[in-house]
C-alpha cells in the first residue's frame, strides 16, 4: 500500500471535511500530517475542529486559510508541506444558493478544482506514488423516476447550477488523468447528515425549527426522494478509495436508504418530540408546504455495489441510530448553532428566506 505522509484536505472546515479530519484522528491508523486548506466562507467553521486544533496544531495538523482558486497560495502549500495526497472537499455545496447566485459555484467548484489540478500536475510531474481524490455528488447524474438507480456508468445529466459545476469538476479531474496521467480517484455520494452540518440543509433546518417551534418548510409536495448516509460512512468510503481504490476510477457511495422528504420530516418530529418529552402532533402541525425549489430533482438513488464488492466497504451506521445521534448533537450544541447563525449566514437567510 502507498504510504501517505502529507495529506491536503481542501474544505476541511466544512461539514464533511471537518468530520473527515476527526475520522482520520479517531478511527484510522494514519500517522502522517494533515493540512487543512479552507477559505472559511459562510460554511467554513473552525469551531468544528477545536479539539483537534488544541491537541495537534503545529504537530500533525496544520490549518491554512487559503482560496483554492489562488494558484500561488496553493503552490506554496504543495511545496511547504510536500503534499503527496489531496482529498478535495472544498466547494460551494448548497443547491438553493446556486439557484439564487451561481457565480461562486462556477468560481470555486470549476476554477478552484482546475487550479488544484494544475498545481498537482506541476508539483508531482510524472510521479505515481501520489493521489488526487475528488469528492463529488450523485446529483451529477440528474433525476430518477420511481424506479432505477445511478451507476458509475450512468451518463451525466446535471440540472442545477450546483450539480452542473460539480459535473464540470468531475470531467476536469478525469481529463487530467486521461491526458496527463495524473493519479486520480473520484467518488459520487448521496446526501450526508450528521454533526457540524450547516443549518441550511434539510435535516439540521428541521431539527432546529422543531426545537424552536418554527414552521417546517417542505418544498413542493414533499414527495421528492433522497438517499441518506451518515457522514462518517462517507468518510470511511473515501478513505478506503484513497488507500485501496484503482487509479483513474470512480466509485459510487450511498446509504441504500431512500426517504420521501415528508416522511423524513414526520419522523424527525417524532424523534425530536421524544428527546424533548413533548407532544409529537404539536410539531407535525408546524409542517408547512412552501413554493417548490426551481428544477427540483425528484429522486436520487445510488447503486454502490462496486465499492462494496471491490473495496470491502459498507455502511456502519443505520438511519435510526444516526438520526438519534445527530438530533442529540444539535440539541446539545447551542453555542455552535448561535455562532454559525450569526454573520454572513444570517444576512443571507434574512435576504432570501424572509419572504417565504
Ligand atoms: P460545506 O459547504 O459544509 O463545506 C464546504 C467547505 O469548503 C467550507 O469549509 C468552505 O469554507 C470551503 N470552501 C468553499 N469555497 C472555498 C474556496 N474557494 N477555497 C477554499 N475553501 C473553500 O460542504 P459539505 O457538505 O461538507 O460538502 C463537501 C464536499 O462534499 C463538496 O464537494 C460537496 O459537493 C460534496 N458532497 C456533499 C454532500 C452532502 O450531502 N453535503 C453529498 C455528496 C457530496
Ligand atoms: O428547507 C428545506 N425544505 C425541503 O423540502 C430544505 C433545505 C430542503 N428541502 C428538500 C429539498 C431536497 O429534496 O429536502 C431535500 C434535501 O435538500 P438539501 O438538504 O438542500 O440537499 P440536496 O439539495 O438534496 O443536496 C445535498 O445532497 C447532495 C447537498 O446539499 C449537496 O451538497 C450534495 O451534493
Does ligand 1 lie within 6 Å of residue 41's CB atom?
yes
DSSP of 15-38: HHHHHHHHHHHHHS---SEEEEEE
The tens place of each residue's pLDDT in the chain, 356 residues long, gives 789 999 999 999 999 999 999 999 999 999 999 999 999 999 999 999 999 999 999 999 999 999 999 999 999 999 999 999 999 999 999 999 999 999 999 999 999 999 999 999 999 999 999 999 999 999 999 999 999 999 999 999 999 999 999 999 999 999 999 999 999 999 999 999 999 999 999 999 999 999 999 999 999 999 999 999 999 999 999 999 999 999 999 999 999 999 999 999 999 999 999 999 999 999 999 999 999 999 999 999 999 999 999 999 999 999 999 999 999 999 999 999 998 988 655 555 556 554 44
- 160 occurs within a structural domain: yes
Check: pTM over 0.95? Answer yes or no. Answer: yes
- 354 occurs within a structural domain: no
- CA-93 nearest atom, ligand 2: 32
- 91 occurs within a structural domain: yes
β-strands 85-88, 191-193 pairing: unpaired
- Quote the domain boundaries for residue 60: 6-196+230-256+295-318
**Total domain count for the chain?**
1
Does ligand 1 lie within 6 Å of residue 112's CB atom?
yes
Residue nearest (by alpha carbon) to ligand 1 atom 12? 11
Residue nearest (by alpha carbon) to ligand 2 atom 26? 191
Does ligand 1 lie within 6 Å of residue 117's CB atom?
no
- 331 occurs within a structural domain: no
Strand partners, 85: 7, 131
Which residues carry out catalysis? 138-139, 162
- CA-67 nearest atom, ligand 1: 19
Calculate how far, in angstroms, residue 12's C-alpha sits from the geometric centre of ligand 1.
Answer: 8
Dist. CA 10–CA 170, nearest whole Å: 16
Dist. CA 245–CA 305, nearest whole Å: 14
At CA 229, angle to CA 19 and CA 153, rounded to 5? 110
Does ligand 1 lie within 6 Å of residue 300's CB atom?
no
Q: How far is CA 167 from the centre of its chain?
A: 15
Calculate how far, in angstroms, residue 212's C-alpha sits from the geometric centre of ligand 1.
Answer: 27
- 352 occurs within a structural domain: no
Dist. CA 314–CA 234, nearest whole Å: 10
Dist. CA 350–CA 101, nearest whole Å: 15
Calculate how far, in angstroms, residue 280's C-alpha sits from the geometric centre of ligand 1.
Answer: 33
Cell matching residue 8: 491536503
- 274 occurs within a structural domain: no
Q: CATH number for the domain including 94?
A: 3.40.50.720
Amino acid at each position: 500500500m502507498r504510504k501517505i505522509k502529507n495529506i491536503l484536505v481542501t474544505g476541511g472546515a466544512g461539514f464533511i471535511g471537518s468530520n473527515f479530519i476527526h475520522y482520520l484522528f479517531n478511527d484510522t491508523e494514519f500517522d502522517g500530517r494533515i493540512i487543512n486548506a479552507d477559505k472559511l466562507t459562510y460554511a467554513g467553521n473552525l469551531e468544528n475542529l477545536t479539539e483537534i486544533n488544541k491537541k495537534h496544531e503545529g504537530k500533525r495538523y496544520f490549518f491554512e486559510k487559503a482560496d483554492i482558486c489562488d494558484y500561488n497560495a496553493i503552490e506554496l502549500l504543495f511545496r511547504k508541506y510536500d503534499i503527496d495526497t489531496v482529498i478535495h472537499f472544498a466547494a460551494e455545496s448548497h443547491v438553493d444558493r446556486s439557484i439564487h447566485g451561481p457565480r461562486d459555484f462556477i468560481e470555486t467548484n470549476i476554477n478552484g478544482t482546475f487550479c488544484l489540478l494544475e498545481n498537482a500536475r506541476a508539483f508531482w510531474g510524472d510521479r505515481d506514488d501520489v493521489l488526487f481524490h475528488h469528492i463529488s455528488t450523485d446529483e451529477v447524474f440528474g433525476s430518477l423516476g420511481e424506479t432505477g438507480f445511478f451507476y458509475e456508468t450512468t451518463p451525466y445529466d446535471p440540472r442545477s447550477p450546483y450539480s452542473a459545476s460539480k459535473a464540470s469538476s468531475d470531467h476536469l479531474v478525469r481529463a487530467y488523468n486521461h491526458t496527463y496521467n495524473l493519479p486520480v480517484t473520484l467518488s459520487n455520494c448521496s446526501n450526508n447528515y450528521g454533526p457540524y452540518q450547516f443549518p441550511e440543509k434539510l435535516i439540521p433546518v428541521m431539527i432546529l425549527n422543531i426545537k424552536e417551534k418554527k414552521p417546517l418548510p417542505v418544498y413542493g409536495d414533499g414527495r421528492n426522494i433522497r438517499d441518506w448516509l451518515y457522514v462518517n460512512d462517507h468518510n470511511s468510503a473515501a478513505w478506503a478509495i484513497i488507500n485501496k481504490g484503482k487509479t483513474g476510477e470512480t466509485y459510487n457511495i450511498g446509504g441504500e436508504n431512500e426517504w420521501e422528504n415528508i416522511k423524513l420530516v414526520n419522523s424527525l418530529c417524532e424523534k425530536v418530540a421524544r428527546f424533548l418529552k413533548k407532544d409529537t402532533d404539536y410539531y407535525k402541525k408546524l409542517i408547512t408546504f412552501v413554493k417548490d425549489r426551481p428544477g427540483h430533482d425528484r429522486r436520487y438513488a445510488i447503486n454502490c455495489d462496486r465499492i462494496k464488492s471491490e473495496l470491502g466497504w459498507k455502511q456502519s451506521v443505520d438511519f435510526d441510530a444516526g438520526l438519534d445521534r445527530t438530533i442529540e448533537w444539535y440539541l446539545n450544541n447551542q453555542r455552535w448553532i448561535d455562532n454559525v447563525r450569526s454573520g454572513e449566514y444570517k444576512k443571507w437567510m434574512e435576504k432570501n428566506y424572509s419572504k417565504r
